[in-house]
Amino acid sequence: MNVSTGQLAAHLQRGLKSLYTLHGDEPLLQQEALDAIRAVARPLGYTERTAHTVAGAHFDWSEVLAAGGSLSLFADKQIVEIRIPSGKPGKDGSAALQQLAQMSQDNDATLTIVMLPRLDKMTKSSAWFAALESFGMTLQVDPVERAALPQWIAQRLATQGQRVAAGEEGQRTLQFFADRVEGNLLAAHQEIQKLALLYPADAAGGGVLGFEQVEGAVLNVARYDVFKLSEAVLAGQPLRVQRMLDGLQAEGEAEVLVHYTLSEDIRALKRVKDAMAQGRPLPVALREQRVWGAKERLFERVLPRLSESALAELLQSAHVVDGIVKGLKQPDWPVSGWQALQRLALQLCALCAGPRTV
């Protein structure tokens, strides 16, 4: 059975299961979900806890199985936590997890919690994950996307008795805050806690935070990746694209990786456009080019805005930038690889934000 992070509190109020699986790449939200389960379990007598981290192909699963099947020596009930950082338990681990899942049904004295990173579709279809899902409760911990980040910040501020000013100023404050912490939710949480210390809710002002207070207190702790850059470009968000490129450069990201991501998007757009010109429906063309998820929705919005000539020009620009990031000079283009990448990214971004072609 599946439950979302937003549903976890209500689920725990209805009763505690004997097996939980948490999977996702957002450490803060996964840790908070784990803490919530522990907090409910503790008053119910689960006072002893053992933790196991699966590292390497030769991990000894017998100790985990023994812990999961035994009674606690020092308490009536126990918590057994299993961390699998790689998300790949291996052959022995697969068998052990299936056995643990079945054992959990007849052992109310043991609460088993399995923690995994973000899983791909193939892993979710494996026998061991199916067993965890069938016999217990699974919680997929999704990241907070940029569009939802201001509201997430506002909710976190509210829990500590704070809020931003009403109206346009408040929205500006939340957007500024989100720009400073995008891609780094743990640091965002720390910055929110810092505001509680600097401007207590019971002090003068009644917990209302002005833009100047947030601007002066919140550090720039944003972290970006090339996949989010791709989404920002296709969404036609030039200011965000510029900010992300600056961040990637400051973090030492490889220019060739950024170029590959941008050029692959351009090539995919061209292939889908060509397939549509040959009579293929858009959903079929997207599926053939392995475009899905958030990018699928962006492609659907962007493709009507891109003409054949615009895509040909983008392909030529991508070819030019390929040479620049590898050290070649090109007439009428910046010598710097990052400046050339910026020009390419903003060229595509402008087209994605433009009007539909006729």
Q: 325 pLDDT band (50/70/90 cuts)?
A: very high
Angle between helices 308-325 and 255-277 (to 10 degrees): 160
Asked whether 222 and 179 are in contact (CB, 8 A), the reply is yes
The sheet carrying 2-3 orders its strands as 2-3, 137-140, 19-23, 110-116, 77-83, 46-53
Give percent above pLDDT 90 in the chain.
80
Q: What is the mean pLDDT of residues 11-29?
A: 94
Minimum mean pLDDT range among 54-68, 224-238, 294-308:
54-68
Asked whether 310 and 351 are in contact (CB, 8 A), the reply is yes
Q: Which residue has the higher pLDDT, 108 or 273?
A: 273
Q: 172 pLDDT band (50/70/90 cuts)?
A: very high
pLDDT for 358: 44
Minimum mean pLDDT range among 89-98, 274-283, 347-356:
347-356
Instruction: Report how far residue 164's alpha carbon sits from residue 211's, in angstroms, rounded to the nearest whole number.
Output: 8
Q: What is the mean pLDDT of residues 80-103?
A: 93
Tokens of 285: 């063309």
pLDDT of 102 > 80? The answer is yes
pLDDT for 356: 64
Q: What is the mean pLDDT of residues 190-219?
A: 88
pLDDT of 72 > 90? The answer is no
Q: 74 pLDDT band (50/70/90 cuts)?
A: low
pLDDT for 58: 80
Nearest to 26 by CA among 114, 143, 187: 143
pLDDT digits (tens, 9 = 90+) for 281-313: 999 999 999 898 888 999 999 999 999 999 999
Asked whether 163 and 169 are in contact (CB, 8 A), the reply is no
Q: What is the mean pLDDT of residues 326-338?
A: 94
Q: What is the mean pLDDT of residues 129-144?
A: 94
pLDDT of 171 > 70? The answer is yes
Q: Which residue has the higher pLDDT, 55 or 133?
A: 133
pLDDT for 70: 61
Map out the domains of the chain with their CATH numbers: 2-140 (3.40.50.300), 164-217 (no CATH), 226-353 (1.20.272.10)
Helix (H) or strand (E) holding 243: helix 238-250
Average pLDDT, the chain: 91
Cα 169 to Cα 202, 206, 208, 311, 312, distances in angstroms? 22, 17, 12, 40, 43
Q: 214 pLDDT band (50/70/90 cuts)?
A: very high
| DSSP string across 116-158 | E----HHHHTSHHHHHHHHHSEEEE-----GGGHHHHHHHHHH
pLDDT of 320 > 70? The answer is yes
Asked whether 115 and 80 are in contact (CB, 8 A), the reply is no
Instruction: Report how far residue 82's alpha carbon sits from residue 116's, in angstroms, rounded to the nearest whole number.
Output: 9
pLDDT of 86 > 70? The answer is yes
pLDDT for 292: 85
Place of tokens 């991501």: 261
pLDDT for 8: 93
Report angle CA 342, 322, 320 to the nearest 5 degrees: 80
Q: What is the mean pLDDT of residues 184-190?
A: 94
Distant-in-sequence, close-in-space partners of 263: CB < 8 Å, separation ≥ 6: 318, 321, 322
